[in-house]
Amino acid sequence: MPHMTAFARNQWYVAAYSHEVGRELLGRTVLGEPLVLYRSQEDGTPVALNGRCVHRRYPLSEPPTRLDGDRIVCGYHGFTYDTTGACVYVPGQKRVPRTARIASYPVVEQDSLVWVWIGDPALANPSGIPRARHLDSPGWVTVRGMEPIDCDYGLLVDNLLDLSHETYLHGGYIGTPEVAETPITTEVDEGAGIVRVSRHMDDAECPPFYARSTGIEGRITRWQDIEYFAPCLYLLHSRVAPVGVVPEPDGSDPGGFHTEVTYAITPSADGRVYDFWAVSRDWATDEAEVSEFLRSNNHTVVMQDVDALNLLQRTLGTERHGYQELSINIDTGGLAARRILARLAEEGDKPVERAR
């Protein structure tokens, strides 16, 4: 059995994009908990309930389960639940058993993401959710998608915290020799659970992803500034510009192309993770061809990661006696992230003292 990164409970996780949650029932599994999501007709807010009927565990995201107004009617025997998870109807009898209730989860819809709190609902504090404003701000255009990967979510965190793999796994798309060759700076705010990894390339080849979308010809100055808000949100602030073009002294940056690459890393089950990915830009915002190019190109890049991580997980699973790893300088940020995740998992497992 390969190593599995422990789940961190009492945290917010992205369960879906806003556009995925509507009047059709959506099933997702987060930290091993089956969820069913839908949007309330009454007030338009997303609802997240446990996705198994209390009666015989029928999956509430599967037909013929359906919505009746804001109530969800199990497709097997008709058990009916309101938006709080309380059962309001059982077939054939007037008395609804007191224990007929499914869990409801705190939900926050923000920045076009639907966040759910997995853990003790009394501890859910929406102000702790990291922001990704560019996903839903005027002046920004975003292309996005989601791919499930059959791997430990820790492997995806490792992958994203160390972009030197771009040179090898994503060569010809976003990788160039300079990414792997350029030293990184790592900053860790251990208490806040944030890891920042920066790689500033002064004179680099322009990969096709940026050459064809921005129209820059020749070599570039390329900055990659990662912010990972453990456990779920990952932002890559990318800046590319012709070599030597840097921001103005007043901080404005008319010569730079800014792209925000967002990932939500949501552990689904042991050995399975949702890879939500988005590419946002504030340039060429009215050019549909650029959007389509970035969507298609980034989807290819994401699938290269998906294939590699699926393979890596299967390979780790064949190790009979465990395995050792070797970490080098490029892993400085990834190691910090692992440590923070281990701490969050430990904290999430502890019983919490409540103020009375």
Partner 1 sequence: MTAPAGKIYRVDWVPGTDLLHGTCHCGAEHTAEDPVAMWEWMLGHPEGHQGVE
Contact residues for partner 1 (CB under 8 A)?
Answer: 183-192, 327-329, 331-332, 335-336, 339, 343
Identity of the residue, 87 or 336, whose beta carbon is nearer to partner 1 in the bound complex: 336
Identity of the residue, 296 or 327, whose beta carbon is nearer to partner 1 in the bound complex: 327
Cis upstream peptide for 351 (omega within 30°) = no
Can you tell me whether residue 66 is helix, strand or coil? strand
Identity of the residue, 119 or 334, whose beta carbon is nearer to partner 1 in the bound complex: 334
Identity of the residue, 53 or 188, whose beta carbon is nearer to partner 1 in the bound complex: 188
Question: Least distance to partner 1 from the beta carbon of 160, Å?
Answer: 17
Question: Least distance to partner 1 from the beta carbon of 195, Å?
Answer: 10
Identity of the residue, 269 or 335, whose beta carbon is nearer to partner 1 in the bound complex: 335
Element (H, E) at 88: strand 87-89
Question: Least distance to partner 1 from the beta carbon of 337, Å?
Answer: 11
Pairwise CA distance, residues 274 & 153, whole Å: 8
Q: At what angle do helices 332-349 and 153-161 cross, to 10 degrees?
A: 140
Greatest Cα-to-Cα distance within the chain, rounded to the nearest angstrom: 76
Pairwise CA distance, residues 225 & 208, whole Å: 20
- How does DSSP assign 293-355, residue by residue? HHHHHHHHHHHHHHHHHHHHHHHHHT-SS-------GGGHHHHHHHHHHHHHHHHHHS-----
Question: Least distance to partner 1 from the beta carbon of 193, Å?
Answer: 8
Question: 14 phi and psi, to 5 degrees?
Answer: -75, 120
Identity of the residue, 288 or 326, whose beta carbon is nearer to partner 1 in the bound complex: 326
Question: Least distance to partner 1 from the beta carbon of 61, Å?
Answer: 37
Question: Least distance to partner 1 from the beta carbon of 183, Å?
Answer: 4
Identity of the residue, 129 or 294, whose beta carbon is nearer to partner 1 in the bound complex: 129
Question: Least distance to partner 1 from the beta carbon of 3, Å?
Answer: 16
Question: Least distance to partner 1 from the beta carbon of 202, Å?
Answer: 11
Pairwise CA distance, residues 84 & 81, whole Å: 8
Can you tell me whether residue 84 is helix, strand or coil? coil
Is 86:102 a contact under the CB 8 Å cutoff? no
Identity of the residue, 190 or 292, whose beta carbon is nearer to partner 1 in the bound complex: 190
E strands in 150-286: 185-189, 194-204, 220-229, 233-242, 257-269, 272-281
Cβ within 8 Å of residue 319, ≥6 positions away: 2
